[in-house]
Homo-oligomer: A and B are copies of this chain.
Amino acid sequence: MAAARVRSGGRPTLEEVAARAGVGRGTASRVINGSPRVSSRTREAVEAAVAELGYVPNRAARALAGNRTDAIALVVPEPETRFFAEPYFSDIVRGVGAALADTDMQLLLTLVGSDRERDRLAQYLAAHRVDGVLLVSVHADDPLPDLLQQLDIPAVVSGRRSGHETLPSVDSDNYQGARGAVGHLVARGRRRIATITGPFDIYAAQCRLDGYRKAVAAAGTDGDEALVAQGDFSEESGRRAMELLLDRRPDLDAVFAASDVMAAGARQVLRERGLRVPDDVALVGFDDSVIARHMDPPLTSVRQPIEEMGRAMARLLLSEIGVHRSPGTAAAEQTQLVLPTDLVPRLSS
């Protein structure tokens, strides 16, 4: 977009505007930045000077130069309902907000719940209205990451899309987290351990299943594939998967659910069928969200440092943007950050 760079050099300065308007630099700046604490007379004088000199504020000038907006988008590829129901997203937003608190970066949250919304966002991004993008919990087949690379917009994903992620990413150690959860169930004497997985187009769900399988194989406990049922991280899918597992293997003695929300759905089915937790069936979740603490009994869960992941994403993106803005600098190394998980034992196991 060469046209956007037309006006570099020789631009009138804020000082010149202030001088022509007969006010101080600070007053001129307040008018231009829209502060309400300015008299209408002063405002008119400054606005006249701006018009006469053809002054363009720095920030707008940078935007016209196509290389800076001081805004980043946090993109959540989910509809509103999931965004507000999943504590994961609020923790990420909190972490990102904390990391940006002392910067000039405006954070813009954008939800993408449909193909139409995805097309709209693609248009918005193609207009280069943000300096960078944080993509949260992106599915493996989502076209947005490739689009961002083509547009040369710095981006960081939370949750790798595969073991060969091409964008800088922040993830938690889903594999070891799942291994630890199943190892804990084995240590408590469980031998017929089922799992409710997440959707396989999310790499984290694959890693958690891999961790489950590895732990079952290492312990030599029952490796029957009928003990594996797929969910989609929703509560309803946890219910359905639990029903399926109990129909297939009524003798199961433990369940590792790949999210707390699915564990909550499974818990309801266990209650409906008269099975006690943990006496008859031990239950472990993943995320250590508020739900885990409020369940009856409280749910053992794998803690991901989600807020810390949000902070790390934002810091990584700021560094990518810094490199991007200084074309002379060497390209940032592709950083794949994997943060450790912990098991938080509670009464459900």
- Nearest CB on B from A235, distance (A): 14
Q: Which of A106-154 contact B (CB under 8 A)?
A: 106-111, 113-114, 116-117, 120-129, 143, 146-147, 150-151
Determine whether the beta carbon of A127 is less than 8 Å from that of B57.
yes
Indicate whether A80 reaches chain B with its CB closer than 8 angstroms: yes
Choose, from A66-74, A173-181, A278-286, the stretch at the interface: A66-74
Determine whether the beta carbon of B106 is less than 8 Å from that of A110.
yes
Indicate whether A225 reaches chain B with its CB closer than 8 angstroms: no
Residues from chain B with Cβ under 8 Å of A143 in the complex: 35-36
Residues from chain B with Cβ under 8 Å of A124 in the complex: 70-71, 106
Could you say which of A6, A57, A97 has the most chain B C-beta atoms within 10 Å of its C-beta? A97
Contact with B along A47-85 (1 / 0, CB 8 A): 000010011110110011000011101000001110110
Determine whether the beta carbon of A63 is less than 8 Å from that of B151.
no
- Nearest CB on B from A141, distance (A): 11
Residues from chain B with Cβ under 8 Å of A11 in the complex: 3
Question: Which of B69, B102, B117 contacts A129, CB < 8 Å?
Answer: B69
Determine whether the beta carbon of A123 is less than 8 Å from that of B54.
no
Give the CA-CA distance A97 to B111 in the complex, in Å: 9
Indicate whether A218 reaches chain B with its CB closer than 8 angstroms: no
Indicate whether A331 reaches chain B with its CB closer than 8 angstroms: no
Determine whether the beta carbon of B129 is less than 8 Å from that of A34.
no
Indicate whether A272 reaches chain B with its CB closer than 8 angstroms: no
Indicate whether A39 reaches chain B with its CB closer than 8 angstroms: no
Question: Which of B60, B71, B84, B120 contacts A106, CB < 8 Å?
Answer: B120
Determine whether the beta carbon of A116 is less than 8 Å from that of B101.
yes
Indicate whether A42 reaches chain B with its CB closer than 8 angstroms: no
Residues from chain B with Cβ under 8 Å of A101 in the complex: 114, 116-117
Question: Which of B6, B83, B114, B123 contacts A7, CB < 8 Å?
Answer: B6
Residues from chain B with Cβ under 8 Å of A3 in the complex: 7, 11, 54-56, 64
Determine whether the beta carbon of B109 is less than 8 Å from that of A34.
no
Give the CA-CA distance A193 to B124 in the complex, in Å: 53
Determine whether the beta carbon of B110 is less than 8 Å from that of A34.
no
Give the CA-CA distance A102 to B116 in the complex, in Å: 8
**Chain A residues at the B interface, C-beta cutoff of 8 Å:** 1-4, 6-7, 11, 32-36, 43, 51, 54-57, 59-60, 63-64, 69-71, 73, 79-81, 83-84, 90, 93-94, 97, 101-102, 104-111, 113-114, 116-117, 120-129, 143, 146-147, 150-151
Task: Give 10 new A-B contacts, CB below 8 A, not counting A4-B64, A59-B123, A59-B126.
Answer: A3-B7, A3-B56, A3-B64, A6-B6, A32-B126, A43-B150, A71-B129, A80-B90, A97-B113, A129-B129
**CB-based closest 5 A-B pairs:** A109-B109, A84-B90, A108-B108, A106-B124, A36-B146
